[in-house]
Amino acid sequence: MRRMDRGELVAYVRSHGDGVVSSVGPDGRPQAAYLAITATDAGELVLDTRASSRKVANLRRDRRVAVVIGGADGTTLQCEGIADLPEGPDRDLCAQAYRDAFPRFATSLADPAVLLVRIRLTWARYGDYRPGVASSQEVDLGIAVRRVRADEWEPARALRLDALRDEAAAIAFLDTYENAARQSDEFYRDRTARASDGDDIAQFVAIDGSAWVGSVTVIAQRGGSLDYHDRPLERDRATVVGAYVRGEQRGSGLVDRLLDAAAHWGRDLGFDELTLGVHQDNGRAQGAYRRAGFVPSGFIFAGPNGPEVEMVRRL
């Protein structure tokens, strides 16, 4: 079966118009609700809900959701994503999609007690279980997340230089723009080749069409060796460094996909945890890591840019 793409996903959601949305309750248990659902042209799911609903309380605490659309006709779309309550032009786009799909609910959107929820998908799978078909495949969401290739040292360098010009760069990365910009082509060829193959280091990149929009690198560190702060390691671990998502893609859940790719790589190599160090003042990065399953280990160490919090995700 050919993979469903983003446009086909949008058409599928619009033609069904409803589904079951599951959010995370206050005690960590799933809570599900059946709702009218549509999609924007960009493939975001849109639904409305009362501001007082338990769903909104859940999403304010934990933005992760799972959704199932379809079922009765023998086909289903299973989705996972990150929800938010958009405002301004983002809300206008969602409201337009909602009004187009459900003209009969248009007046409820003017009610301040009703909120629009937008879900940006991080994963989706289309299943077709009608007689004689029985297959399921991951949907192509338009942004590919994959390991870098050796011949991609030029876009990899461009993304790295962009990251080092980010306003958070001084607390986010251990290198400076000036230093990275001085390095030779050979340096980037070698760095990208090493990250593209083998079991020592892997770089995962997010590519939207032809635009490079994010990256995460993971390093395999063996017990007995020194970590990048020259601390002896007691046990094997895989460490994430250099996490970066371009501004326009922030908040979309892309960092979750990159971290999942790093986690799969580490798990396949037999590691049981993924670690990282994040600057104490880098609240946004800490928030993203927490949502992606990292918890502070309790260890705070002096990094070159100031105090760093160690966070760990079990694999």
Ligand X SMILES: CC(C)(COP(=O)(O)OP(=O)(O)OC[C@H]1O[C@@H](n2cnc3c(N)ncnc32)[C@H](O)[C@@H]1OP(=O)(O)O)[C@@H](O)C(=O)NCCC(=O)NCCS
Tell me the C-alpha distance between 93 and 168, whole Å.
Answer: 29
Residue for token pair 């050919």: 2
**Packing angle between helix 254-268 and helix 283-291, nearest 10 degrees?**
60
Structure tokens at 32: 């599900």
3-state class percentages of the chain: helix first, strand second, coil last, to nearest 5: 35, 40, 30
Which residues 13-42 are close enough to bind ligand X by CB under 6 A?
none
Figure out which of the listed residues 245, 263, 309, 315 binds ligand X, where binding follows CB under 6 A: 245
C-beta separation of 154 from 188 below 8 A = yes
The kind and range of the H/E element at 36 are: strand 30-36
Nearer to ligand X, 8 or 175 (CB): 175
Indicate whether 285 belongs to the interface with ligand X (CB under 6 A). yes
Collapsed DSSP state (helix, strand, coil) of residue 69: strand
Under the binding rule (CB under 6 A), the answer on residue 7 touching ligand X is: no
For ligand X, the closer of residues 76 and 275 by Cβ is 275
Give the phi and the psi of residue 47 in degrees, each rounded to 5. -145, 165
Q: Does 259 participate in binding ligand X (rule CB under 6 A)? A: no
Out of 291, 296, 303, 310, the residue judged to bind ligand X by CB under 6 A = 291
99 forms part of the interface with ligand X (CB under 6 A): no
The piece of 14-22, 124-132, 184-192, 277-285 that touches ligand X (CB under 6 A) is: 277-285
Q: Does 278 bind ligand X (CB under 6 A)?
A: yes
Shortest distance (Å) from residue 12 CB to ligand X: 26
The answer to the question of residue 168 lying near ligand X (CB under 6 A) is yes
Q: Which residues contact 24 (CB under 8 A, 6 or more apart)?
A: 30, 31, 58, 61, 62, 64
* Residue from 190, 250, 260, 293 in contact with ligand X (CB under 6 A): 250
Given a contact cutoff of 8 angstroms between Cβ atoms, the answer to whether 210 and 231 are in contact is no
Beta strands in 149-289 (DSSP E): 201-208, 211-221, 237-245, 273-279
Q: Is residue 244 close enough to count as binding ligand X by CB under 6 A?
A: yes
Span of 15-23, 26-34, 174-182, 283-291 interacting with ligand X by CB under 6 A: 283-291
- Nearer to ligand X by C-beta: 220 or 311? 311
Beta-carbon contacts of 118 under 8 Å, excluding residues fewer than 6 positions away, are 40, 44, 45, 46, 83, 84, 85, 86, 90, 94
Q: Which is nearer to ligand X, 12 or 173 (CB)?
A: 173
CB nearer ligand X, residue 4 or residue 195 = 195
Is 10 a binding residue for ligand X by CB under 6 A? The answer is no
139 or 240: whose CB is closer to ligand X? 240
Q: Which two tokens stand for residue 161?
A: 């230089």
Q: Which residues bind ligand X (CB under 6 A)?
A: 63, 166, 168, 172, 243-245, 250-251, 255, 278, 282-285, 287-288, 291
